[in-house]
Amino acid sequence: MNEPAVLTVLTAMLGGAIRVSTPFMFVSLGECLTEKSGRVNLGLEGTLVLGAMVAYAASYHTGNPWLGVLAAGVAGSVLGAMHGSICGLPRVNDVAVGIAMMLFGVGVAFFFGKPYIQPQAPRLGSIPLGFWSDSPSLKSALQVNPVFFIGIALALAIAWALRNTRWGLVVRTVGDSAAAARAMGISVNVVRLMTTTIGGFLAGVGGAFLSLSYPGSWNQGLSSGQGLMAVALVIFSRWDPLRCIAAALLFGAAGAIGPSLQAIGITQGYYFFNAAPYILTLGIMIATSSAKHSARDMPGELSIAK
């Protein structure tokens, strides 16, 4: 492989990392917030797919892609609120409800999404940050969507709020010890309902990015496990919103390897590189988990790693 080819792959991976990471970022931020309150929502894969469908449909009908983003967030919050309220009932298992919500969300998205596979909806515009460069590949790599920056701003805001506000303290208390929270007079279920709803909103917005920016169309194979991987990312990020961003970028780069190599004509191992993000997720989970003690910084009420 000669030098420019390596460079092409690296710039394509940079651009890919930014593009591919955005949905990961939103879903893992949402899940991070939900898990901080001591509950796991495995259904975000379904939320992501439904968000993508709703965003595409809303953008198609209104002509405004940002309304699509908003609609996706609302649809995601509805699913989140469903999960949050069902899990608030006694003796209901949040992991199992997550699986059910995943199947339900995907089913609803496919049901209503069928008429939108063909038509073209207005997509979200990007900011050309590569204006200073002459290289067309770098220019296209630095076509960054504003949603990416919104995600980073949100991560900073959530990280700050969790650490420094009363609201953040309440969420963390509920997540670490429901009994202590109850003793403080906090309604555990209401807090968890709220964090799950907000988490659903964020995952829905992540879905909107999938259908309205990159890859930028709606079809049934759009997500294939990205929501699930984002949930796994949260464990790796040790429930820290800022580490979620870093992990999402890492995943974006891993997901971009296959298409980048294809761009310079290497198609061998295409399926291997397609599977790379799943293998990487599993590898990270194996490397960072331990059978002896629970994960570092894990909210004490979390059922997922007990």
The contact pattern for other proteins, residues 188-227, with x = CB under 8 A and - = no contact, is ------------------------------------xx--
Q: Which phi and psi angles does 138 have, rounded to 5°? A: -70, -40
For 260, the token pair is 């980048």
Quote the CA–CA distance of 55 and 72 in Å, as a whole number: 5
Q: Which stretch binds other proteins (CB under 8 A): 29-37, 129-137, 236-244, 286-294?
A: 286-294
Build a one-symbol-per-residue string for 225-264: x at contacts with other proteins by CB under 8 A, - elsewhere: x--xx-xx--x-----------------------------
Residue 274 in contact with other proteins, rule: CB under 8 A: yes
d(CA 287, CA 289): 6
Q: Does 290 bind other proteins (CB under 8 A)?
A: yes
Is 42 among the residues that bind other proteins (CB under 8 A)? yes
Place of tokens 């999960």: 83
Binding segment for other proteins (CB under 8 A), chosen from 105-113, 124-132, 162-170, 209-217, is 105-113
Which of 69, 101, 141, 208 forms a contact with other proteins (CB under 8 A)? Answer: 101
178 binds other proteins (CB under 8 A): no
Residue (2 or 268) nearer to other proteins, CB = 268
Residue 38's φ and ψ, nearest 5 degrees, are 90, 15
Angle at 277 between CA 28 and CA 5, to 5 degrees: 120
Residue choice 149, 289, 297, 300 for contact with other proteins (CB under 8 A): 289
Binding of residue 82 to other proteins (CB under 8 A): yes
* Non-local CB neighbours of 43 within 8 Å, separated by 6+ positions: 79, 83, 97, 98, 99, 100, 101, 102, 104, 105
Whether 252 and 15 have beta carbons less than 8 Å apart is answered as no
**Is residue 235 within 8 Å of 247, Cβ to Cβ?**
no
Q: Based on the shown chain and the rule CB under 8 A, indicate whether residue 267 belongs to the binding site for other proteins.
A: no
Closest by CA position to 19, among listed 198, 134, 148: 148
Q: How far is CA 207 from the centre of its chain?
A: 8
Question: Minimum Å distance from CB 151 to other proteins?
Answer: 22
* CB of 166 or CB of 292, closer to other proteins: 292
**In the complex, minimum distance from the CB of residue 164 to other proteins, in angstroms, rounded to a whole number:** 30
Should residue 121 be labelled a site residue for other proteins when binding is judged by CB under 8 A? no
Q: Which is nearer to other proteins, 99 or 152 (CB)?
A: 99
Residue with Cβ nearer other proteins (18 or 304): 304
Which residue in 63, 282, 297, 300 binds other proteins (CB under 8 A)?
Answer: 282
Residue number with CB closer to other proteins (60 or 278): 278
**Residue closer to other proteins, measured from CB, 93 or 120:** 93
- Residues at the site binding other proteins, with contacts judged by CB under 8 A: 42, 46, 82, 86, 89-93, 95-97, 99-101, 103-108, 110-111, 114, 224-225, 228-229, 231-232, 235, 271-272, 274-275, 278-279, 281-282, 285-286, 289-292, 294, 303-306
